[in-house]
């Protein structure tokens, strides 16, 4: 049967018992295991009545399979009505024969199983088993969590042309109901390019939402409005003052002096209320934020709001004070500071796809320094000094060549890396922050249209394997070569990890030109380039770079890293300042483990930044949302644990991070005790009091980053990992 190149593939495992589902667009895999060999015969996607759209379907000659992680599940009738739901360790036992569709939750590919049978879902020993006792075979279907931009729009190079494109961005939404707050129902907006004539392939497809956004035709108004226009399916038209109107009578005026803040605030307000309202629909879960809303006196007629069309819903939402909703808003993932140059408008579809908080940034308002001397950087340098006063030995050194043979001389040789165009953008209260413009941001990542679009094209060409190359070009840094052990330690994924050392310039050039997913470079870096055994390889002299992403774990590697992105890489982690070898090794190891866990590059950097000031020497160049490994289930978690001094219990605080495939609007269920409450992922979701037994069970679920509350002081690296911790060890470390 012919198969769309972009559709997931379902195939029997060649050497094990089970089936694997591959998504070539997202470059993710998911495996279902069985007691016997399974044949997977492709069938039409309308062979059985699925409740939701699917991309691929197959018939499996088995009635039972297992997944080596805990998964939630929803059981539905063909009309979509829910029969049963399971979260955490709950089981499902339905004796009456179907037909039923079982939907797994928190998988990297949307998976559905259909059978005319009773249903059993059980979770035991961190494994989920699904069985259908009344039949010999079932149907399995998959839907990718990503959608490539369907079109590229051509508009004039002016603000009104960009407004025309923004009006069409919402054609990518799969619904205008409140369910569009689910990331799987928000498609990627069409791309934008400039030309003399307007070209909208296929004609205008914006849904008739009854929402209009009037804006003065200037970048300082048009750019910040892009995510809001996309999410509200708004028609964007020129106007004298910024305002939002609907066919239901809404007329919302924006303060021109605070427009960028007002658009983000309105987007977050509407989005959060959509998340609360959608509980009345296909997913009637127990949502923590709904409970908190009721406690705050926010008690709308949610069922009535659910049935309202978008234009009426906005009126209802705007009748709710912003202050009542603000505490319920999940931590926003991205702030984008963008230069108000019309040529930068081509990045707006990518920022809209992220639902980013977009701010106008004028470099003329920032003092450009010859050296990065912000308070953060000075504090980071002091933290480095304090670390070395307490722990460094004479053998420690900077990851840049030294002037003399004296190991305690930390001066660099050759020309220092210029910081003439290093600048500082305003801080943001979001998980990550990017800058779109010339120069290098001191306290944010650096994005570009090219890196965003390169990632889209690479996804379409993805293979079934994840390739990682670790390069160490200095024997004094050989300890960090052990990071290769952390790449590939994941079930459900296939890795090819290659360790290389003592490479010449030509060999290093070949490594960078090879098709691979990630390069972890360990070695000296300065203005001459990356150190090789026969000199330095200047990234500016490389013609082609085919690695998807990289880390250059050497001193002031940001210029070399930007050159790699300019020549073909999607993104990379680089440094803005000198780093001592011992710190670089520890941070590099933690970054490797975070990436292997599924953290995007920018979120991994934020974790090490938040952990210790020395981590603030690291930034991302390119599209920081790129993931080397897709999370195997849902949002990612950093756990903060505090042992009680007055009893044997612990406080477990979970900080969640959304990802590209599990973005804003994703639900998560803390697998602690018998909890069944679900939360909107992103940011700190809850703090639970747990027993030693519950904590040990939780730590054994998967390998997660952990911080012990008593060790967080910003001057040292406190990140630990759950696979090396028990409740007893945590109590001894915290001296309780």
Q: What pLDDT does 400 receive?
A: 54
Q: What pLDDT does 465 receive?
A: 66
Residue 444 is encoded by which pair of tokens? 């944010």
Whether residue 370 has pLDDT greater than 50: no
Residue 456 is encoded by which pair of tokens? 């889209």
* pLDDT tens, position by position, 377-393: 454 445 444 433 334 44
* pLDDT tens, position by position, 206-216: 999 999 999 99
The predicted model gives 637-651 an average pLDDT of 94
Give the whole-number percent of the chain exceeding pLDDT 70.
87
The predicted model gives 29-37 an average pLDDT of 88
Lowest-confidence region among 236-240, 242-246, 455-459: 455-459
* pLDDT tens, position by position, 427-446: 999 999 999 999 888 888 99
**Domains of the chain, earliest start first:** 9-143 (no CATH), 152-360 (no CATH), 374-622 (3.40.50), 636-733 (no CATH)
Q: What pLDDT does 467 receive?
A: 86
Q: CA dist 703 to 94, 436, 611, 699, 724, Å?
A: 33, 35, 18, 7, 9
Whether residue 162 has pLDDT greater than 90: yes
Whether residue 374 has pLDDT greater than 60: no
Whether residue 398 has pLDDT greater than 60: no
Average pLDDT over the chain, rounded to whole?
86
Whether residue 586 has pLDDT greater than 60: yes
Band of residue 736 on the pLDDT scale cut at 50, 70, 90 = low
Q: What pLDDT does 315 receive?
A: 97
The answer to whether 567 and 542 are in contact (CB under 8 A) is yes
Band of residue 119 on the pLDDT scale cut at 50, 70, 90 = very high
Helix (H, G, I), strand (E, B) or coil at 46: coil
Give the whole-number percent of the chain exceeding pLDDT 90.
55
Q: What pLDDT does 392 receive?
A: 43
Q: What pLDDT does 356 receive?
A: 97
Identify the residue with better confidence: 311 or 96. Answer: 311
Whether residue 90 has pLDDT greater than 80: no
Q: What pLDDT does 401 receive?
A: 54
Whether residue 296 has pLDDT greater than 80: yes
- Contacts of residue 301, defined as CB under 8 A and 6 or more positions apart, other chains included, come to none
Helix (H, G, I), strand (E, B) or coil at 674: coil
Identify the residue with better confidence: 381 or 353. Answer: 353
Lowest-confidence region among 5-9, 254-258, 259-263, 529-533: 5-9
* pLDDT tens, position by position, 174-194: 899 999 999 988 989 999 999
Q: What pLDDT does 373 receive?
A: 42
- Contacts of residue 715, defined as CB under 8 A and 6 or more positions apart, other chains included, come to 383, 386, 387, 612, 613
- pTM, two decimal places: 0.84
The predicted model gives 546-553 an average pLDDT of 93
Whether residue 614 has pLDDT greater than 80: no
Identify the residue with better confidence: 486 or 656. Answer: 656
Give the other-Cβ count within 10 Å of 128's Cβ.
22
Q: What pLDDT does 87 receive?
A: 72
Give the other-Cβ count within 10 Å of 302's Cβ.
17
Half-sphere exposure of 611 (CA within 13 A, CB side): 27
Lowest-confidence region among 61-75, 127-141, 529-543: 61-75
Nearest to 655 by CA among 732, 599, 601, 701: 599
Band of residue 585 on the pLDDT scale cut at 50, 70, 90 = confident
For strands 518-522 and 549-553, give the pairing: parallel
Half-sphere exposure of 194 (CA within 13 A, CB side): 14
């Amino acid at each position: 049967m012919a198969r769309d190149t972009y559709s997931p593939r379902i195939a029997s495992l060649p050497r094990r018992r089970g089936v694997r589902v591959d998504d070539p667009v997202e470059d993710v895999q998911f495996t279902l295991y069985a007691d016997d060999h399974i044949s997977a015969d492709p069938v039409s996607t309308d062979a059985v009545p699925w409740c939701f759209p699917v991309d691929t379907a197959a018939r499996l000659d088995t009635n039972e399979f297992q997944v080596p992680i805990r998964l939630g599940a929803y059981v539905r009738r063909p009309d979509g009505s829910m029969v049963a739901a399971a979260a955490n360790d709950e089981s499902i036992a339905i004796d009456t024969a179907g037909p039923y569709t079982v939907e797994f939750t928190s998988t990297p590919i949307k998976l559905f199983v259909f059978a005319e049978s009773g249903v059993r879902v059980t979770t035991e020993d961190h494994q989920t088993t699904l069985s259908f006792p009344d039949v010999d075979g079932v149907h399995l279907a998959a839907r990718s969590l990503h959608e490539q931009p369907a079109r590229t729009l051509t508009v004039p190079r002016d603000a009104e042309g960009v407004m025309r494109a923004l009006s069409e961005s919402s054609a990518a939404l799969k619904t205008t109901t409140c369910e569009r707050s689910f990331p799987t129902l928000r498609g990627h907006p069409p791309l934008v390019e400039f030309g003399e004539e307007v070209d909208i392939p296929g004609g205008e497809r914006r849904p008739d939402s009854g929402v209009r956004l009037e804006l003065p035709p200037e970048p300082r108004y048009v750019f910040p409005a892009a995510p809001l226009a996309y999410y509200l399916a708004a028609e964007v038209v020129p106007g004298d003052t910024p305002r939002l109107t609907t066919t239901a009578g809404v007329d919302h005026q924006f303060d021109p002096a605070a427009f960028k803040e007002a658009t983000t605030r309105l987007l977050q307000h509407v989005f959060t209320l959509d998340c609360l309202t959608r509980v009345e629909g296909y997913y009637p879960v127990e949502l923590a934020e709904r409970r908190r809303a009721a406690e705050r006196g926010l008690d709308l007629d949610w069922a009535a709001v659910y049935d309202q069309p978008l234009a009426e819903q906005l009126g209802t939402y705007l009748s709710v004070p912003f202050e009542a909703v603000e505490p319920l808003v999940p931590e926003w993932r991205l702030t984008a500071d963008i230069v108000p140059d019309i040529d930068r408008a081509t990045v707006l579809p990518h920022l809209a796809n992220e639902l980013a908080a977009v701010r106008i940034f004028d470099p003329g308002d920032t003092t450009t320094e010859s050296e990065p001397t912000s308070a953060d950087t000075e504090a980071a340098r002091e933290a480095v000094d304090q670390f070395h006063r307490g722990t460094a030995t004479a053998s420690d050194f900077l990851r840049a060549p030294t002037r003399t043979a004296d190991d305690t001389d930390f001066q660099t040789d050759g020309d220092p890396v210029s910081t003439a165009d290093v600048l500082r953008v305003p801080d943001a209260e979001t998980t990550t922050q990017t800058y779109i413009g010339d120069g290098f941001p001191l306290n944010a990542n650096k994005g570009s249209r090219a890196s965003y679009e390169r990632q889209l094209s690479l996804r379409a060409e993805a293979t079934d394997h994840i390739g990682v190359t670790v390069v160490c070009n200095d024997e004094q840094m050989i300890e960090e070569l052990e990071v290769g052990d952390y790449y590939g330690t994941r079930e459900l994924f296939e890795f090819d990890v290659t360790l290389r050392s003592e490479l010449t310039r030509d060999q290093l050039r070949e490594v960078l030109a090879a098709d691979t997913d990630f390069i972890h470079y360990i070695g000296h870096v300065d203005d001459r380039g990356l150190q090789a055994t026969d000199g330095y390889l200047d990234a500016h002299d490389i013609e082609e770079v085919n690695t998807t992403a990289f880390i250059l774990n050497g001193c002031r590697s940001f210029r070399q890293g930007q050159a790699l992105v300019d020549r073909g890489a999607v993104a990379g982690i680089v440094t803005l300042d000198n780093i001592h070898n011992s710190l670089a090794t520890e941070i590099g190891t933690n970054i490797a483990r975070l990436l292997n866990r599924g953290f995007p590059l920018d979120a991994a950097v934020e974790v090490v930044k938040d952990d210790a000031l020395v981590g603030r020497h690291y930034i991302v160049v390119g599209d920081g949302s790129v993931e080397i490994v897709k999370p195997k289930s849902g949002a990612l978690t950093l756990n903060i644990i505090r042992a009680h001094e007055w009893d044997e219990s612990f406080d477990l605080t979970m900080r969640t991070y959304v990802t590209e495939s599990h973005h804003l609007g994703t639900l998560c269920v803390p697998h602690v005790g018998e909890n069944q409450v679900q939360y909107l992922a992103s940011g700190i979701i809850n703090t639970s009091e747990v027993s030693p037994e519950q904590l040990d069970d939780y730590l054994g679920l998967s390998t997660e980053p952990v911080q012990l509350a008593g060790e967080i002081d910003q001057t040292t690296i406190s990140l630990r990992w759950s696979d090396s911790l028990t409740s007893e060890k945590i109590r001894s470390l915290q001296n309780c």
